[in-house]
Amino acid sequence: MAAADKDFKQRDDLKPLHILQPEGVSFRLDGQQLEWQNWKMHIGMSVSFSRVDAYCLQRFTTAKALRCQLSPTMTTVRCGRCFTAFRYRRWWFHMGRQSTLTGENLLSTLESMEWVSWPVNCLLDVIAWARFITWYSFFIFHQTFCSSSCSPAFVKHDGTAEVIQNCICIHEEDAGVLWKHTDFCPGGRGQTVRRRRLVVSMVCTLANYEYIFNYMFYQDGTIELEIRMTGILQVYVAPDGEQPLYGTLVAPNINAQFHQHIFSIRVDPMIDGLNNSLVETDIMASPFPTGSTENFAGNAFIAKDTVLTRESGRDLPPPGVERRWRIVNRGKQHYSTGSDVGYAINIKSGGVELMTAHDGWVGRRATFAKKPVWVCRDVEGVKGGRMWAAGNYVPQTKQAPEDSIGEWVKGEESIEDEDLLVFLTIGATHIPRPEDWPVMPVEHININFKPVSFFACNPSMDVPGVHDPKSVLAFTPDPSNRNQPCH
């Protein structure tokens, strides 16, 4: 930036921020098995996707197991310009056409402002006490291995070896308040418990974008997948006087095109057992009129559950309805509510609708992007199971192949109390801003999975409320009081 703008100067009013864990980290890593706060998980990676297998154990009552394999398996990026031969053809399958490993970044806690050769950079990726893992893959045998100490290599497209150190990071973060309450009465007592989360992250550079994948685990049994996007916008030089219809002039004669990032997230659940079902819940206003016995004040609303019976792609809700999904085990019930144990899927903050004709090039090839949720049976085969929402060989097909999600659900096989796969479609529609240039600030996409009737009660009640002696009062005029705890 300084080379392009002689008046550019980095701000000098930002004081250091340190994250300290004087007694070390709270997680344990044994090979590929990671343990933290009643969670056990295995971390994996292959040529085209990252994967976390999570297991949750209940402490208070009978042990319960949640197994959820969570992995982004496909990304399509499409531009919104409809003419000029080169540009309307611009849409990519970033995860599928390209290997996430070939774009994998080295992560570091060391601060440096020097760029080094692609794909490795030593910018400040993590401010924490972190553990880094080196991954490598033998493509011939289709297996993935992990090393937390050695430095093996993987095979690049040209057949040469490439070592990527520290490509997966594990660290803990403070995440605000976990739970809090104060008795609303004279002399009432209060208690606040801080929330902590475990973050398993990776970063890959695919074309002009950096994708940051954060798998986050919480003490209340919540799992969150966060995708952060940064990098440089796709631009072209616009003629003088052009007023772009399908882009934004982020700088004089620099047109950044409208585009979408659409991800398919493969969820392989095992909710307290192998045989699961998917429940679709519509939350809506009560159908009874105001003044009636059922809805006297007109403020009633209901949640209507439908157990899905056949493989299908699910639609977005109509206006006035909020739609949710949850994966349940109908053979296990909560001791108090009698409801099936389950985990709810929240894609509201990451939901996206495909902004293209469904019979267009993108719609015919990236069929997974047409629906927010797909559900099918988990079928194993000689050539592997149902892994890739857009098919195994993305660059070699113009239409949706037989091994893609749109074809899998055509059989409409029963999915009641079966071994299920759920594919979630999330993403972002990007209308570029001048503030996105020359390097875009991070955009966030979040989805989460929350327990519903899975635990007997709040599973984080045993997390202690800790007073941090390092938290002090800011702007204290008396220097002698500056280091006194603020608790």
Grouping H, G, I as helix, E, B as strand and the rest as coil, residue 295 is coil
Three-class HEC string of 199-267: EEEEEEEECCEEEEEEEEEECCCCEEEEEEEEECCCEEECCCCCCCCCEEEEECCEEEECEEEEEEEEE
According to the model, what pLDDT value does residue 77 have? 61
According to the model, what pLDDT value does residue 87 have? 47
Mean pLDDT by 10 residues, the chain (487 residues): 81 88 90 87 65 54 60 62 46 49 48 30 57 50 33 65 76 94 89 94 85 93 93 93 93 93 90 94 96 96 97 94 96 96 90 84 86 93 78 77 91 95 93 97 94 94 86 71 56
Tokens of 76: 């399509």
Strand-pair partners of 282: 304, 323
Q: How many CB atoms lie within 10 A of CB 118?
A: 9
Instruction: Indicate the helix (H) or strand (E) that contains 461.
Output: none
Comparing CA positions, the residue from 215, 171, 214 lying closest to residue 196 is 171
* Distances, alpha carbon 113 to alpha carbons 121, 165, 322, in Å: 9, 19, 46
Give the pairing type, strands 168-182 and 312-314: unpaired
Backbone angles phi, psi at 453, to 5 degrees: 60, 25
How far apart are alpha carbons 165 and 153 in whole angstroms? 9
Instruction: Render 34-56 in DSSP notation, one character per residue.
Output: EEETTEEEEEEE-SS-EEEEEEE
How is domain 28-289+297-481 classified at the CATH fold level?
Beta-galactosidase; Chain A, domain 5 (2.70.98)
> Which residues have CB under 8 Å from 444's CB, separation 6+?
226, 227, 228
How far apart are alpha carbons 171 and 26 in whole angstroms? 9
Instruction: Indicate the helix (H) or strand (E) that contains 343.
Output: strand 340-346
Comparing CA positions, the residue from 217, 216, 311, 229 lying closest to residue 262 is 229
C-alpha triplet 390, 351, 370: angle, nearest 5° = 40
Tokens of 412: 């409409």
Q: Residue 401: is the preceding peptide bond cis (ω within 30°)?
A: no
The rounded radius of gyration (Å) of the Cα atoms in the chain is: 25
How far apart are alpha carbons 92 and 98 in whole angstroms? 9
Backbone angles phi, psi at 309, to 5 degrees: -110, -20
CA 279, distance to chain mean position in Å, is 22
Tokens of 322: 């909020």
How far apart are alpha carbons 327 and 286 in whole angstroms? 25
In one-letter notation, the amino acid at residue 281 is T
Tokens of 115: 């760029």
Comparing CA positions, the residue from 48, 55, 91, 54 lying closest to residue 72 is 48
According to the model, what pLDDT value does residue 45 have? 65
Tokens of 118: 């692609």
According to the model, what pLDDT value does residue 89 have? 46
Query: So where are the chain's domains?
Result: 28-289+297-481
Burial code of 259-292, b = ≥16 C-beta within 10 A, e = fewer? Answer: bbbbbbbbbbbbbbeeebbbbbebeeeeeeeeee
Q: Residue 119: is the preceding peptide bond cis (ω within 30°)?
A: yes
Backbone angles phi, psi at 121, to 5 degrees: -135, 150
HSE-up (13 A, CA, CB side) for residue 232: 7
Residue with tokens 């990236």: 366
Instruction: Indicate the helix (H) or strand (E) that contains 87.
Output: helix 85-88
Strand-pair partners of 197: 173, 218
Residue 289 DSSP class: P
